[in-house]
Amino acid sequence: MRFLFCILSLFVAFNLCGKEINVTYPRAPLNLQLIVMKHKGLLEKEFAKDGIKINFHDIMDGKEQIRALAAGKIDICGSINTTSIIIAAGQNIKLKIIRAVCIPTGTLALMTTNPNIKSVKDLKGKTIACASKCSLHQILLGALAQNNMTIKDVNYIPMSLAETYKAMFSGKVDAGLLVSVEVVNAKKRGARVLRTAKGLMRPKLVVAVSESFAQKHPDWVKRYIKVQDEAMAFIKNHKHEALELAAKDLGISYQDAEWLYNNTKFINALNKDDIISLRKDIDFLYQQKLIPRKVNILSKGAGIEIAFENFVRNQISLCAVSFK
């Protein structure tokens, strides 16, 4: 009997050996659920009983997250903007959205240090930097369009968030699109906000996985969702502690973390307004030629399973992960 037990133990150990889940850990905007999940060890606690290791990867850029996911280096995008997902779908790279994270409308901004630039109209012929093929890029295009301009009317230079921040204060660019911590720090250094996302688009941050991961590990997906819900409950019941974790993680003051919190809508599910805005995003990105066709990420009667019971009906087809 003891011999049989040893054989079974070795069999279980062999099957658990090497199992891991790789999750991206973007530090902007304020991905509070993810911060709580990491620093409270919630994912590790959930999967430890199965011997599954959790690895966090500091990848912020949406394109880079999708590239890592497509290469099999990443299993779960812990927080990624839906603009990047739409553009990826236009390139036949399909992701499944399994949860929502936040609507950071107030913490994404087009900013400048140039005293001669008073409004978006003054950007004509000027040099502007921001990350490409993401929500920031969409905000820039929207702000220009609202002022009867296109990307051809400015000198647009694709840069990472960190590069944009540095370039703006070194005088290499006239304006840049910044997010959360960079917005806070830029204001302290005298930069001015020309435009936020408000009135231009509804930026949506979500959790996404590849189709193959969702099909291969539906139980893992379901458990990840459960853990994120636990993190949201922790934030609700222990807001001060959650913001202290965020402040330390992001290297900012508690007051700045609280400002980011107050200007970010934290969610676990997309609502009808979010779905409507996704349709508008697809139309706009098609008009701007960032996607070759109007991608079909919305479908009628998409099956919403138990884990998605608080998503609205007529939901994103990419969310319809079956756990049957």
pLDDT range class, residue 305, cuts 50, 70, 90: very low
The reply to whether 186 and 241 lie within a common domain is no
* Same domain, residue pair 215 and 306: yes
Mean pLDDT lowest among 8-12, 29-33, 66-70, 218-222? 8-12
Burial class of 79 by CB neighbour count within 10 A (0 to 12, 13 to 18, 19+): buried
4 within domain boundaries: no
Could you tell me if residue 236 is inside a domain?
Answer: yes
CATH (domain of 117): 3.40.190.10
Q: Give mean pLDDT, residues 143-164.
A: 96
What's the rounded mean pLDDT across residues 6-19?
47
The pLDDT, as a whole number, for residue 94 is 85
The domain of 306 spans 17-104+204-319
pLDDT for 271 equals 86
95 against 166, higher pLDDT: 166
Indicate the pLDDT class of residue 18, thresholds 50, 70 and 90: low
Whether 303 maps to a domain, the answer reads yes
Query: Tell me: the pLDDT tens digits for 164-206?
Result: 999 999 999 999 999 999 999 999 999 999 999 999 999 999 9
First-residue to last-residue Cα distance in the chain: 36
pLDDT at 10 over 60: no
Please tell me whether the overall predicted TM-score, pTM, comes out greater than 0.95 for this model: no
Structural domain contains residue 118 = yes
CA 154-133-70 angle, to 5 degrees, is 155
pLDDT tens readout for residues 135-151: 999 999 999 999 999 99
pLDDT at 215 over 60: yes
Pair 235, 98 in one domain = yes
Residue 62 lies in a domain: yes
Nearest to 77 by CA among 104, 53, 52, 95: 95
Q: Which of these, 52, 71, 62, lies nearest to 24 by C-alpha position?
A: 62
Domain final position from 196, 222, 254: 196
Of 162, 196, 230, the residue at which a domain comes to its end is 196
Same domain, 217 and 313: yes
Q: Give the per-residue pLDDT at 269.
A: 87
Hey, what are 315's tokens?
């939901």
Confidence bin at 311 (pLDDT 50/70/90): very low
Report the pLDDT value the prediction gives residue 16, as an integer from 0 to 100: 44
Same domain, 144 and 241: no
Same domain, 112 and 88: no
268 and 211, same structural domain?
yes
The verdict on residue 239 lying in a domain is yes
pLDDT higher than 80, residue 234: yes
- The mean predicted confidence, pLDDT, of the chain is 87
Which of the residue ranges 11-20, 223-232, 241-250, 297-306 would you say has the lowest mean pLDDT? Answer: 297-306
Task: Say if 5 falls within a structural domain.
Answer: no
Lowest pLDDT segment from 38-42, 77-81, 304-308: 304-308
* 212 and 306 co-located in one domain: yes
55 and 32 inside one domain: yes
Residue 29, number of CB atoms within 10 A of its CB: 29
Domain count, the chain: 2
Instruction: Find the DSSP H helices in the chain.
Output: 2-16, 32-39, 42-48, 62-70, 82-90, 135-146, 161-169, 180-188, 211-216, 218-237, 239-250, 254-262, 272-287
Written as one string, the DSSP assignment of 106-166 is: GGEEEEE--TT--SGGGGTT-EEEE-SSSHHHHHHHHHHHHTT--GGGSEEEE--HHHHHH
Mean pLDDT for 124-136 is 96
Domain-embedded: residue 270: yes
Tell me, yes or no, whether 163 and 192 share the same domain: yes
Q: Which of 17-31, 175-189, 285-299 has the highest mean pLDDT?
A: 175-189
Query: Does the pLDDT at position 39 exceed 90?
Result: yes
